[in-house]
Amino acid sequence: MRLQNLCLRILIAILTASLHLYAESTQPPYSCDSSDPSTKLYPFCQTKLPISQRVEDLVSRLTLDEKISQLVDTAPGIPRLGIPAYEWWSEALHGVALQTTVRQGIRFNGTIRFATSFPQVILTAASFDAHLWYRIGQVIGKEARGIYNAGQATGMTFWAPNINIFRDPRWGRGQETPGEDPLVAGKYAVSYVRGVQGDSFGGGTLGEQLQASACCKHFTAYDLDKWKGMNRFIFDAQVTLQDLADTYQPPFKSCIQEGKASGIMCAYNRVNGVPNCADYNLLSKKARGQWGFYGYITSDCDAVAIIHDDQGYAKSPEDAVADVLKAGMDVNCGDYLKNYTKSAVKKKKLPESEIDRALHNLFSIRMRLGLFNGNPTKQPYGNIAPDQVCSQEHQALALKAAQDGIVLLKNPDKLLPLSKLETKSLAVIGPNANNATKLLGNYFGPPCKTVTPLQGLQNYIKNTRYHPGCSRVACSSASINQAVKIAKGADQVILVMGLDQTQEKEEQDRVDLVLPGKQRELITAVAKAAKKPVVLVLFCGGPVDVSFAKYDQNIGSIIWAGYPGEAGGTALAQIIFGDHNPGGRLPMTWYPQDFTKVPMTDMRMRSQVSSGYPGRTYRFYNGKKVFEFGYGLSYSNYSYELASVTQNKLYLGASSNQVTKNSNTIRHKLISDIGKELCEKNKFTVTVRVKNHGEMAGKHPVLLFMRQANPGNERPIKKLVGFQTVNLNAGENAEIQYELSPCEHLSNPDDRGMMVMEEGSQFLLIGDKEYPITIIF
């Protein structure tokens, strides 16, 4: 979506200036008012009827012009039927957000002026805590409904989460995602969607009524915005069926089948020549047919227009309209459908039945949101009041999310935590130390309150001196002498450096992986001049090559803080001074600068030795790493023991005609041939004993991997098959269990994208421990 992030001061100014534009009733918009006798006669207002029947009645009453008017994100009202206007586009990536365009489904101009701003998703993912992700989704859904109840929303459909795979470290929007692993991205999608929509953590309790609607985006294989002359509007991603099967598609499948998302957004780009929004096989056969999607599909903004205007895939605007509606898309973010659908019908390129199909999906969602059930204050979720937005409970969760996500990357001599008693003075240096907007990443709303890193540290050490070091994060010039002078006079020095939205964002990918401008020069000079080794804090969504700092003895500790949200400064200070034990682990690989030789446009996941292509992500990348996926330190040491595995030999018997050999003469079998019954029968449980050997209580993510005895031949080096978090006091141990399905967790796709099981040994990996599992046909 073509959005530009505004700084917090401008955002607040816009909100204040907008008050006179929206001096509206605090009554939320809805249809089927029971006090209006005329609406009682409409079957679409009868809540006892099935939604499908109600929608059929409503659509049958619309003229062609009225129907077409509803196919765009800013859908006008239909006064003769008592239907108010509706805005499909609202944002809630890591908190209910304000859009910076004229289209505003959410407004912060009445009783509610703020919303809880959680860490940017990439940092939240570092907690590896699905329960935390669910609770964040719950808060976002509740606050969204509270804003609607206060009369400050004209839409309850939120275009989040972003669950694309963080394939390339240069991607400007990688910060919005849960990282590079498909299992993590899928689990995040399920947890967030269930929370937002009002389902239970385990799912299955939602029914028809939605608290708010979540939309998984961007479907599919979208992870390039603007890089060296190539942009997302014209990019044709060449993706193998094998990579689609085990990398790009699994998060969306989980989002639909387990999360029961009510929305999907199709992406700008083409995949193997076909625009995503015009791909019938993707939208109708795969999502709706194979995965059972029950919801609406929106285009990304102006994604229909570019099919003709930029990509040249459609010969005319009418062809573009016909292509997307026939493919299964329902609503256009933009005006293309409003402008060209009628002429497409007149030219017989599009039957009216396709419009009716789309409207059925759209009005079904609005009815599931309760917007056609009469006064919303008398409906489920009608009691969510303004005081539940930015509540103390919600703000406490934002703090916890930042605490649990922040990752300690270096601390060999235990510089951290700093002593609150022995630290008499502090120097805080860096362009990210004292700017509240830097905490928020992108797609944010006005936060309840913010605490910058400088403010958080000052709460511990009153004698704190600050210098930005660089006027901007780009750091084209650095005030090294002044920074060094301040550093020399302090007991401890904390450098707060990294990136911001001028370096990585939507429509801006990076070309380098190093720190911008003269940041490295500033860091090195200050570290050399300081009395003691310094602490380096990095704000960034994408990885940065800080190899120089990793091996510099003058830099005693490195912390990755992502974009930690409204409470980020407090969380960071608590970790630095030991009031919280860090436990986050990286959800993406940190590559060296040399990786930038690999074209960002190369979508291949798997390495290719013959050409020197190194592959991508921890599953396939065979090159050097600055920090690896899953890496993260703590103030405690943890040990693992594989306590038990209920089965170590899996008999997946088959008739001889179902077993084939690959090019390496390894016997393998299609998962579809094994069958659900045998897959279910061979599920097994892995029990891991974890012990905290440290002196501090801590929350620790435990990651369970699997590798094959003979990696290579396009198999992953290893892959994540389960993760859980455990809270342990000092000296305490606990057992955690993982249930694994061989057909899901031990299989890999062949070159046709078909999931297969190979005979032979695989190994469970937990820490430095391995355990063999044997598959027998």
C-beta separation of 248 from 279 below 8 A: no
Helix and strand element counts for the chain (H, E): 23, 29
Residues serving a catalytic function are 300
Question: For residues 534 and 576, what is the distance between their CA atoms, to the nearest angstrom?
Answer: 12
Q: Beta 748-749 vs 733-740: how paired, if at all? A: unpaired
Nearest to 702 by CA among 581, 585, 580, 561: 585
CB atoms within 10 A of CB 559: 24
Residue type, 420: K
- Sort 20 into a burial class: Cβ within 10 Å, 0-12 / 13-18 / 19+: exposed
**Whole-angstrom distance, CA of residue 325 vs CA of residue 335:** 14
Task: Report how far residue 195's alpha carbon sits from residue 764's, in angstroms, rounded to the nearest whole number.
Answer: 31
Two structure tokens written together for 41: 């006669």
| Cβ 214 vs Cβ 158: under 8 Å | yes
Pairing of strands 274-275, 296-299: unpaired
DSSP string for residues in 568-587: HHHHHHHHHTTSS------S
Report the DSSP beta bridge partners of residue 557: 535
DSSP structure string for 464-504 = EEEE-SBSSTT-SSB-HHHHHHHHHT-SEEEEEEE--TTTS
For residue 467, give the nearest of 451, 487, 489 by alpha carbon: 487
φ/ψ (deg, to 5) at 474: -60, -30
Alpha-carbon span 546 to 91, nearest angstrom:
33
Which residues neighbour 143 within 8 Å (Cβ) at sequence distance 6 or greater? 95, 96, 115, 116, 388, 389, 390, 394
